[in-house]
Structure 1
């Protein structure tokens, strides 16, 4: 299905942008081939160099392919808007406007603008994320945890694009915040344990007084799930698969629970089970739930969860597109949401999948979440 959409998209751009160019036929033919190649590059790479989840190509090649692909998508949007405007002014018989909208270089100019925006988006996707400070009020939070600082990393996506040096930068920035607890809400890696060994190695240097707690995202399942669980635990992380841990301070406690990802069903692994995750938890301790996807937040609220931390959406990648991403994630895409008495925080994420590596107006982040007593 994705290949069909890609071919339709490429054909539209070839017909509306490439063929009308006043260039020799060999040049236009080469451009058409390039358009089709970029539109289908995920399939081509999966065939010859890794997989769709983990392209095993040099960083600059992945960046170039990603920039071209996003440029195609943006060009399609711009040209579609121009074509819609052309039809409208034609219907209204506005000849001067119609002449302007049919200008021979207007649509190629839109393609150039799209390429510039896409290059900026790729650069934004590859920078070390900035720190975002968030205060979250929780009813019934023990006094001992008022001011408790939880650092959330999510969607690191260590890969051939976001390599070990970049991960080391993320780790250094995270440690510099001196949080009480570090949580990682899924999608740490893209690729096999062997392929990503050097890229994830800096994660072993994450440290906080109450440790590092992680859950799975959908991408862990795409590459040797159980091997990754073993590897993360060997790095000193507490990996929660439908279970919880208790964090204590001055005689008070928090429950940190974590669930798996729904994609587990495809791989014969345990589906998300909040009941199992909370089984045996102290009923007096507020629950902080780690769930990679925000879509089930309302169900979490019904179970008495005080705070849910999620990622997965990457903030929507592009301003405007975030509304579409929100629709696929229960209406949640970025930031803090009150959900039926529960607080939900959806992080933009530190990294992203190399197959859609762009951020335009949606910066990456390392979230430092400070817990506050709601009645204080």
Structure 2
């Protein structure tokens, strides 16, 4: 952990040096204005580094409102820095293209006026991203067609929630809005695919109680993501069981209708093994699956889809990626995640990746939205 902190702090320091130089080195600012701008940037970068080092060290501290305020402000600053660095990089890329090919006139991009725009645009981007979050979860209806789906389960509606990240940075009213919107849909099944809790369970009893109001005729099912393991997984899993969720840890359960069975399996996130907990066990899951039944597997990580397909799963539901959450990561996520968001077909199995119902870190989404997915299972006819 000490090595990670050192590397992370050094990386952020390097970015600070780069951005400070690029924003001040080519302008006609006076010495005083340059010093003021560099001091401003130093304050922002120091706040982010210092706050995270503090919270990494003091994760077991009692809940205090001032800490939440400090953390939320630091996360907002982190979002500002993200946009600022991105804009500076894009400007420098355009300038490089101009130097190499002479296609663009980039001289004005390094003026004092342009620097002012670069410093101000991230504020606008933060405001836009925050507005997207304030709107709340956006419903996305996804019909999925299967030849082997029993007719008895045709039109079965599954609400898929993932990556809510209940924490001090997620407003309680966001959780209430999510629950109300889900109940209005009157789904047959509700599933959670991890990173629902991103803090100590004891600190969020009100949010957990609100989530406990979710009910569906065929049950509510949950698997943990990587973030649940960062905050005491055993207490977190117990908290979800206490509010009536069916927690599936390498387990398979079934729902039945008119003599037909649909199996729902769940695996934990691979991060579990780093905390002495049981990781995903596909052999154990396979031993519980029945060849003739339609099979759905809940997995936080979409990257495990090929293994799911190998054991005969028909549909995997996942999250984790956030779809990149905000610019520029919503464009770059495809370089880090093979299955970034949406629908995929892998060796006869369908995989749907929800881009996240909540958010992590800064209270913003830009280029993505908070997704509440309604999966509708449909039996594919012979003519389709």
**TM-score (norm. length: structure 1):** 0.91
Q: Relative to structure 1, is the Cα distance of residues 341 and 204 closer, same or farther in structure 2, using a 3 angstrom cutoff?
A: same
The verdict on how the C-alpha distance between 1:211 and 1:47 changes in structure 2, with shifts beyond 3 A counting, is closer
Q: Does residue 207 in structure 1 map to residue 202 in structure 2? A: no
Preserved contact between residue 261 and residue 271 of structure 1 (Cα < 8 Å) = yes
Aligned-pair CA distance for 1:89: 2.8
Distance 2:210 2:297 in 1: 25
Residue 346 of structure 1, CA deviation: 0.3
Unaligned runs of 5+ in 1: none
Match of 1:65 in 2: 74
How far residue 67 of structure 1 moved from its aligned partner, in angstroms, is: 2.7
Distance 1:25 1:15, change over 3 A: closer
| Separation of aligned partners in 2, 1:56 and 1:43 | 17
The one-character-per-residue Cα deviations of 1:240-265 (angstroms, maximum 9, x if unpaired) are: 00011011011111110000101111
- Residue 341 (structure 1) aligned with residue 348 (structure 2): yes
- Looking at structure 2, the residues matched to 187 and 56 of structure 1 have their Cα atoms a distance apart, in angstroms, of 23
Q: Does 1:2 align with 2:8?
A: yes
Aligned to 1:120: 128
Runs (4+) off by over 6 Å: none
Q: CA RMSD in A?
A: 2.5
Does the 8 A contact of 2:208 with 2:240 survive in 1?
A: no
Shift of 1:92: 5.2
Q: 1:57 to 1:310 in 2, by over 3 A?
A: farther
Distance 1:93 1:253, change over 3 A: closer
CA displacement, residues 71-106 of structure 1 (integer Å, 9 cap, x when unaligned): 212221221222232244345568x92532332221
| Equivalent residue number for residue 15 of structure 1 | 21
Q: Deviations over 1:133-192 (max 9, x none)?
A: 110112210000000001111111111121332211111111110000101111111111
Q: Distance in 2 between matches of 1:348 and 1:212?
A: 20
Q: CA deviation at 1:39?
A: 4.4
Q: Equivalent residues in 2 for 1:347-358 (5 A)?
A: 347-353=354-360, 355-358=361-364
CA distance in 1, matches of 2:57, 2:377: 48
Structure 2 counterpart of 1:40, from 27, 34, 49: 49
Instruction: Give how far 1:111 is off.
Output: 2.5
Q: Secondary structure at the match of 1:173?
A: helix
Cα distance, 1:308–1:91 mapped onto 2, change above 3 Å: closer
Distance of 1:244 and 1:338 partners within structure 2:
22
Matches of 1:372 and 1:119, distance apart in 2 = 40
Do the aligned partners of 2:199 and 2:231 also contact (CA within 8 Å) in 1? yes
1:44 CA displacement: 3.9
How many pairs are equivalent?
372
1: CA distance, partners of 2:200 / 2:107: 55
CA separation in 2, counterparts of 1:131 and 1:93? 46
Please give the alpha-carbon distance, in whole angstroms, between the structure 2 residues aligned to 1:316 and 1:327.
Answer: 11
1:174 aligns with 2:172: no
Deviation at 1:37, TM superposition (A): 2.0
Report the Cα distance in structure 1 between the residues aligned to 2:177 and 2:295, rounded to whole angstroms.
Answer: 31
Partner of 2:291: 283
